[in-house]
Structure 1
Amino acid sequence: MTTRMLALGAAAVALGLSGCAASGAAGDSSGDAGSNGAVAMSFAGLDIQIWVDQLEYMEPEIEAAGYELLSDDPQWNIQNQVSSWESWIQRGDVKAIMGYPVQSDSMVPVTQQANDAGIPVVGYATEWDGIQAALIIDNYNDGFTLGKDAGEWIVEHFGDEKVPVGFFSYYETDLGIERSEGIKDGLAEAGANVDLTDMPALTIQDGSDGAANQLAANPDTKVWLSVGSDQMIGAYRTLLEKGVAPDDPDYLLAALDATNESLDIIKEQDSIWRFGYILPAKELAANNVKLLLAAADGEKPENITMSSTRITPDNVDSFYTE
């Protein structure tokens, strides 16, 4: 969730990691990397910082196990993603594929192609027909927890008053849908009286534009929630540009998928970005590697489940990505 310029930079990072483009063309390997063949990691797009971070953590672990790490950048286009997988299947040396599909149902046929070729498939953050196992992220619960915590803050600070809330949602993927619904249900569970403006958003620019539009429509919007941190970073910048003090006690910002930049903001004294939630990229990457290598080595991978951890100024220092 970055601007398009950052997205291109992220894609370049991924291509450097994988030594391949979306077509799955082979790249150079050093040392023992690739001696056992290759494994592939496919995210829906590389404009999500936490996904780029995971690839950086995964590469040395995969190479240490004797495999080459392949990746692609479908740019949220399902046909691009299917084409990448088909290229990997045709290479002949790919031992396992892991992915977060742009659309899960649309990956079933190419997953079957992989299975027919003897290539096991594991899922990231979601499940679909044909995979052996997945890294399960409880997206609904993560959203629900954020919404409930935010709702309790709203009740504590505003009581029964109806409070406008700027909400950066996303409904194009299972992850986004589950988080969006969870946040709304969490607000309801807390009994918060809110006027929710639902703004589907993915990038920093989306968040900045959405905040500007919401402030024009309702300048009293003081609560901002998001399914991801990049959208909230954009909103935060816009709020400061519009004159909101970074320590205004009447504001609440909160989001999932904390990044180093959002951690810096949360860490500030009395920040309006009061808390966030994180699935640390290093831990995600370690579990990705575990699933991929088990599948590649012919073992039976088992589902791994992870939940987000709440971040506050008191514990923020322990969650930075190296």
Structure 2
Amino acid sequence: MTLFNFTRRTVMAGATAAVATAMAPAFAQDEEQIIAISFPNSSTIGAVTTSLNRSKEYGAEMGYKVVVDDPGSDMNKQINTIKTWIQQGVPVIVAVVPQPDVFESIAKQAREAGIKWITYGETLENQDATVGYAQYDDGFRLGEYAGEWITENLGGEANVAVLGYEVASWGQLRGNGIKEGLASTAPNATIVAEQDAINPSDGLSVTRTLLQANPDINVILGIEDPATEGSYKAWVAAGKDPHDPNAFIGGMDGTPPALQYLKEGDNVYRASMAIPLLEVGEAIVDTADRLLAGEETGNVIVPLELVTAGDEAASKYLAQQGFE
């Protein structure tokens, strides 16, 4: 896999969305070329919105119109929109594929129509490139750090809850990475509960239930910071000490609330694997541009950064999302 580093730093705020029907069916050579991005639930995840807004701005600088469609969790809607893009002949399609096997034939259709296909955060057989992350490796690093903390602060023993997302392959990869990373540095830590949770409300309700059933849980690790943000609120609502020196909450993606907890430093929220949001947004456009120029890009992997309590990187990633 090829690793590219992107260095532009422009803070973007706000979210916009466009649907496939808003695009013209054909594009003249002197018009902006379309990069069409299909990203389920993107409008509800602030970190993703920041990346895609950067794609739009950077794309405009490069002569592209970046169009984003958010089908929510409706995979049939997502597929229908992508098929519309194929019929319209957009030059590049970028897609998050919740179930890779389902999207193989669609990606094949796109490529047979002369469209460049970029898979976001996943790899398909029928694609021109991947832009995304090493999902397992990034999850492993979070689990590994949590295990190091458990070993140093708790003598290697802890009761752990893992908040995953088993319905998507990327969720499985992150979850497996977390668990195996944890085992590598704290083999005596016990995973007492595993349950899906991907947003704040799920994280709140799931963690509330888990703490009622397992009041000795003192470590909560999640594949998404929105879920572990909910866990933090459930922790406090359960009457537990938000400054408990023997507790650890950690997630992934680097959302503003998680980063704010980490910036403050003196609480049980102790780690996040933060996405370099602006770099990812630019990587999408750069990869599309290079593919259209006939280059072989390989897979473009943007590594997540481990941000821990009190780390100055928390302020950096907050600034990227428009927060001081």
TM-score by length of 1: 0.87
How far residue 27 of structure 1 moved from its aligned partner, in angstroms, is 5.2
What does 1:185-264 align with in structure 2 at a 5 Å threshold?
A: 185-190=180-185, 191-264=187-260
Q: Which runs of 5+ in 2 are unaligned?
A: 1-13, 25-29
Give, in whole Å, the separation in 2 of the partners of 1:156 and 1:13. 41
Indicate which of 138, 144, 160 corresponds to 1:142.
138
Give, in whole Å, the separation in 1 of the partners of 2:311 and 2:239. 27
How far residue 171 of structure 1 moved from its aligned partner, in angstroms, is 1.2
Letter in 1 for 2:15: V
Give, in whole Å, the separation in 1 of the partners of 2:301 and 2:50. 20
How far residue 157 of structure 1 moved from its aligned partner, in angstroms, is 2.5
What does 1:17-96 align with in structure 2 at a 5 Å threshold?
A: 18=18, 21=19, 24-26=20-22, 35-46=31-42, 47-92=44-89, 94-96=90-92
What does 1:162-173 align with in structure 2 at a 5 Å threshold?
A: 163-173=158-168
How far residue 232 of structure 1 moved from its aligned partner, in angstroms, is 0.5
For the pair 1:319 / 2:314, whether they are aligned, the reply is: no
8 Å contact kept, 1:168–1:199:
yes
Give, in whole Å, the separation in 2 of the partners of 1:258 and 1:144. 16
How far residue 274 of structure 1 moved from its aligned partner, in angstroms, is 1.3
| Residue in 1 that maps onto 2:299 | 303
Give, in whole Å, the separation in 2 of the partners of 1:25 and 1:304. 29
Give, in whole Å, the separation in 2 of the partners of 1:104 and 1:116. 18
Give, in whole Å, the separation in 1 of the partners of 2:164 and 2:229. 14
| Residue in 1 that maps onto 2:9 | none
Q: 1:214 to 1:56 in 2, by over 3 A?
A: same
8 Å contact kept, 1:135–1:305:
yes
| Residue in 2 that maps onto 1:180 | 175
Q: How many residues align?
A: 298
For the residue of structure 2 that corresponds to 1:168, the secondary structure is strand
8 Å contact kept, 1:76–1:102:
no
Give, in whole Å, the separation in 1 of the partners of 2:96 and 2:191. 33
Letter in 2 for 1:240: V
Identical-pair percentage: 28
How far residue 207 of structure 1 moved from its aligned partner, in angstroms, is 0.3
Q: Where does structure 1 differ by over 4 angstroms across 4 or more consecutive aligned residues?
A: none
| Residue in 2 that maps onto 1:13 | 15
For the residue of structure 2 that corresponds to 1:25, the secondary structure is helix
Q: 1:39 to 1:188 in 2, by over 3 A?
A: same
